[in-house]
Each structure stands twice: as structure tokens, then as C-alpha cells.
Amino acid sequence: MRFGLVICGLLLALACQESQSEDAIFHPAGQRALKPAGAQAEALTASGEVYVPIYSNVYWGRSGGVMEISATLSVRNVDAQRPLVLTHVDYYDSRGELIRKYLDAPVLLDPMGTVEWMIDVHDTEGGSGANFIVGWGAQGPIARPVMEAIMLAGSRGISFVSQGRPVEVVGE
């Protein structure tokens, strides 16, 4: 009897904890490692922008049902020598309207460092055509950063990755 009460209490505590974490804003630990770029953001000799598709929901079945999905943007500095300057991380919806800016000022990502931003499963504002535009730069030659998004629909067992692509102007 006593053992059963202990098990019930633990299950109740876990259920409450899970409910709280779903409603809370998620800040991955990697963001704490970001430092203000300061003067390093002013003398960039290499720079670019990356487009990363995000799916905060997908359609399924003939009836057009919608499945909500969480998404994590992962930005990786793959250079072992130089810090990467992130100038902007902007999230857009399916209509191309800016939803939110994740940086107030440029920040540094250490060599071989990674940072993530998460779109919660209940945040469907972006829609199926949501995306991030990430601006980056460096002082001197640097390995091109790797950016991708990981989408998960936990209870459905669905997961997939979306690769970032450099934003390039063509036709000039």
C-alpha cells in the first residue's frame, strides 16, 4: 500500500513537471555561452546570410489534418580557430512577415561552438512555411557555419532535418 502511494506521488509529480515545461519558454543552455560581439562586429571581412526552412506544422491525410511540430534551429561554428559573429537571427511566418528577432545586438559564437533556438510545439504562428534568416560574419577567413533545423512531433514519432542554404543574389 505504501509503495503504491509513493509510485502514485512520483507519477503525479512527473505529470505536473511535464505540464509546466510545455508552457514555459525554452532557452537552450547553449545560448548562455553567447557573448556580445562589440567591436568585432564592425570589421567583418567575411559575412553571409543563411535561409533555414522551419515547419511548425505539417498537413497529413486526405482530410488535411494538421500536426503541430516543435523545431530547433541549430547554428554551429565549425571553425576551430575563429569566433563566429551572429549579426541577426530572425523568424518569419509562411507569409514572409517577421514574427520575432532573437538578437538585440551581434553576438560571438566561440570556435567549434553551437547555439540553438527552439520553436515550441504550441507555437504555430509560423505555419508550414516558416523560416529563419541568420546573418553571420567573421574577422578574417573562416569555415562556413553549419545551420539546420530539427523538427519533432514526439508523440507521433516523426522527426526530420532541414538544411540551411546560403542566401545568394542571382541574375546580376
Give the model confidence (pLDDT) of 50-109 as tens digits: 999 999 888 877 887 888 889 999 999 999 999 999 999 999 999 999 999 999 999 999
Q: 73 and 92 in contact (C-beta within 8 Å)?
A: no
d(CA 35, CA 32): 8
- Residue predicted with more confidence, 43 or 155: 43
Per-residue exposure over 86-107, b if at least 16 CB sit within 10 Å of its own CB, e if not: bbbbbbbbeeeeeeeebbeebb
Quickly state the pLDDT bin for 23 (edges 50, 70, 90): very low
Q: Are 116 and 132 in contact (CB under 8 A)?
A: no
* Secondary structure of residue 8 in the 3-state scheme: helix
Residues 6 or more apart whose CB falls under 8 angstroms from that of 33 comprise 109, 110, 113, 115
Tell me what pLDDT residue 136 has: 98
Stronger pLDDT, 47 or 5, i.e. the higher one: 47
Question: To the nearest whole percent, how much of the chain has pLDDT over 90?
Answer: 56
In the chain, which ranges are continuous DSSP H helix?
Answer: 2-23
Most confident of 21-25, 37-41, 136-140: 136-140
pTM: predicted TM-score of the whole model, two decimal places? 0.80
Q: Domain residues of the chain, as ranges?
A: 33-166
Class of domain 33-166: mainly beta
pLDDT at 9: 47
List all residues 6 or more positions away from 66 whose beta carbon is below 8 Å from its beta carbon: 57, 58, 59, 60
The region, left, alpha or beta by phi > 0 then psi within -120 to 50, assigned to residue 140 is left
If we measure between CA atoms, which residue out of 41, 71, 46 comes closest to residue 56? 71
**DSSP code at position 23:** H
Nearest to 85 by CA among 133, 34, 148: 34
Interatomic CA distance for residues 88 and 98, integer angstroms: 12
What is the pLDDT, as a whole number, of residue 18?
A: 41
Question: What's the chain's average pLDDT?
Answer: 84
Q: How confident is the model at residue 167 (pLDDT cuts 50, 70, 90)?
A: very high
